Structure 1
Amino acid sequence: MSSIFGSIDDLYLFCKVVEQGSLQKAAEVLNLPKSTVSRRLTALETRLGLRLLEKDGRELAPTEVGKLAFESLSSGIEMLESGIESLNEQTSQVFGRVKLSIPHSFYHSFVATTIDKYLKAYPKVQLDLILNDDQARPETDRDLLITFDIESMDEMIARPIFTSKHGFFASQEYAEQCGKISTPSDLVALDWVAIDKKNKLPFFHNGQLCEEHYIKPRLVVNDMRAVVDAVSRGLGVASLPHKHAKEASNLVQLLPEYHRSDRQSFLVYKARKYQPNAVRVLINALLEENEGWNHRHKK
């Protein structure tokens, strides 16, 4: 085939089948009959003289040639989609699909209300909300990530968002059992509940690092709400964001003159000159909520 004239639609269709993994799913995304998708793929393979797809159980998978074709075409297809979206967005409409990856407890505590308002204000937007603690590095121009760790986010835009201030908390009952706690050394000797296995704990006093200690957690659980719940039940002491600690009625702060370093979270996304309106509006909404939240919770 010496020209792609008349084949761009079918090449786009091929990429969608690879992305979705089946004719049926691709047909649903494209709002086409499954038979039409199958017929056009067959015609495309005939014109190219190449086998692009093969059966893999109940799904379709690209052949080795198909993988090369998809890798070569997908970035160009994305550019075409972005170009069309840019033309459409000149009318200032907010529409399309956006993906936001965020830790589960962070979502409920900080941005759920903002997301609700956003979806109600823009009914033509579809949001894929991924709630987990994995680093879901943004892959497309419509991917957003909220994270504390940006070490692996080279070439990404990372905007500071929420600043989390921490203190050391335990249940009233557990604190009474422990007796007097007057130094960081007393504190680290207690039972600890932690959200990760980073056991080196810095102690700050009046904003300055004064001591560092290692803790040996009895319980490690990768969800902040679960940590708060465990501490509330008297399983030990934990370093908690003040916002989370205030949500539990029976927690008391230990050594309030000490704290760990503030944790800064970031809103991460790919750099792009012409950003889809749906993404731009969500970014602005999250940053505005950040400013309001940080102002309300300054200590």
Structure 2
Amino acid sequence: MLDALALFVTIVESGSLSAAAERLDLPAATVTRRLQALERELGCRLLHRSARRLQPTAEGLQYYEQCRPLIHALGQATRSLDDNLRQIAGHIRVLAPVNLASGPLTPAWVGFLQQHPQVSLEFQLSNTLQDLVGSGADLAIRVGEQADSLLTHKRLGQIGVRLVAAPAYLARRGTPASASDLAAHDTVISMPLQEWPLRDPATGVELIVRPTARLRTNEMRLAVAAAEAGQGILLCPATLILDSIARGTLTSLLDDWMPAPRPLFAVWPQQRYLPARVRALVDHLQTFVETAPIFGDGAHPANRA
């Protein structure tokens, strides 16, 4: 119905059916057919038509005067919304894991804001899975395979994990040679890595180790600090401890037992149109992750073959 009203207004403003057809880039027969369908639906004739002129009937003139302001206002609003969606400007609300967003990805956020001064970012950080659709957020950063059919996702890269401990701890308690040795060690556990999926290099069989924690936390940086202080063995995203390994404050353990890196995704609601500002952020994050050495298979450059 709305399209038919807009068509009628365009016909009156154009002065003829042929001129309206040209303006709308439609066949003249289509314009005529749609006008006739509108007249049938309204139950009255809207236009006096002849070979040489077109003039609104009394009902048509009244209808035109009432509809014209509404159609033009709607068109202006639509153009304004379209311009807004196409501009890299406005507010973006992001859900993300605490340590990933406030650690390795910090330069990405800063770089994006510097490139796009008309954009503002708001973060809601949590190490638990948050309801993206219910929260009204524009975007979520998630680690691991995504199975939610209501969400669209784009792979940004991957994140490996490392098993580490302080040299002083290993000197005091010894170095584990296999996953079974971990039962005799103190451990530091941080969410979401409360279970350790290790892979036997001899058989390829994956083992789920459920260590008893000497210290348990939901803040990964606290866990790293505790491990550096010699409080136990820690399984941690490689992005957070590669510098510690390079400095020698942590030592990598059981490298052959590490699971495959987990994919890193940008996720957004499937039914939601992605504005240009959000699309720009996703593209920026992908470029950042693909070019940052800290993201990858989890192996420190010095230990790679």
- Once residues 286 and 292 of structure 2 are traced to their aligned partners in structure 1, the CA distance between those partners, rounded to angstroms, is 10
**What's the TM-score, normalizing by structure 1?**
0.63
Q: Select the residue among 222, 229, 234 that pairs with 1:233.
A: 229
Q: C-alpha deviations, 1:11-55, integer Å up to 9, x for none?
A: xxxxxxxxxxxxxxxxxxxxxxxxxxxxxxxxxxxxxxxxxxxxx
Rate the CA distance shift 1:234–1:222 in 2: closer, same or farther, 3 A.
same
Rate the CA distance shift 1:294–1:268 in 2: closer, same or farther, 3 A.
farther
One-letter amino acid of the structure 1 residue matched with residue 290 of structure 2: E
Provide the residue aligned with 1:245 in structure 2: 241
- Once residues 109 and 252 of structure 2 are traced to their aligned partners in structure 1, the CA distance between those partners, rounded to angstroms, is 32
Provide the residue aligned with 2:113 in structure 1: 119
Q: Structure 2, unaligned stretches of length 5 or more?
A: 1-74, 300-305
The residue correspondences of 1:138-217 to structure 2 (distance < 5 A) are 138-139=132-133, 143-148=138-143, 153-196=148-191, 199-206=194-201, 208-217=204-213
Provide the residue aligned with 1:218 in structure 2: 214
Provide the residue aligned with 1:100 in structure 2: 94
One-letter amino acid of the structure 2 residue matched with residue 164 of structure 1: I
Rate the CA distance shift 1:86–1:169 in 2: closer, same or farther, 3 A.
same
Provide the residue aligned with 2:274 in structure 1: 275
- Once residues 94 and 199 of structure 1 are traced to their aligned partners in structure 2, the CA distance between those partners, rounded to angstroms, is 40
**What's the TM-score, normalizing by structure 2?**
0.62
- Once residues 125 and 237 of structure 1 are traced to their aligned partners in structure 2, the CA distance between those partners, rounded to angstroms, is 42
Q: Structure 1, unaligned stretches of length 5 or more?
A: 1-79
Give the CA RMSD over aligned residues: 3.0
Rate the CA distance shift 1:180–1:94 in 2: closer, same or farther, 3 A.
closer
Q: Based on CA coordinates, which of the two structures has the bigger radius of gyration?
A: 2
Aligned sequence identity (%): 20
- Number of residue pairs the alignment of both structures matches: 218
Matched, 1:132 2:126: yes
- Once residues 104 and 150 of structure 1 are traced to their aligned partners in structure 2, the CA distance between those partners, rounded to angstroms, is 19
Q: C-alpha deviations, 1:207-254, integer Å up to 9, x for none?
A: 933544331112111122111111001110011222322222310112
After TM superposition, the structure 1 stretch with the greater mean CA deviation from structure 2, 150-159 or 110-119, is 150-159
- Once residues 269 and 79 of structure 2 are traced to their aligned partners in structure 1, the CA distance between those partners, rounded to angstroms, is 19
One-letter amino acid of the structure 1 residue matched with residue 101 of structure 2: Y
1:161 partner SS: strand
Rate the CA distance shift 1:211–1:241 in 2: closer, same or farther, 3 A.
same
- Once residues 97 and 253 of structure 2 are traced to their aligned partners in structure 1, the CA distance between those partners, rounded to angstroms, is 27
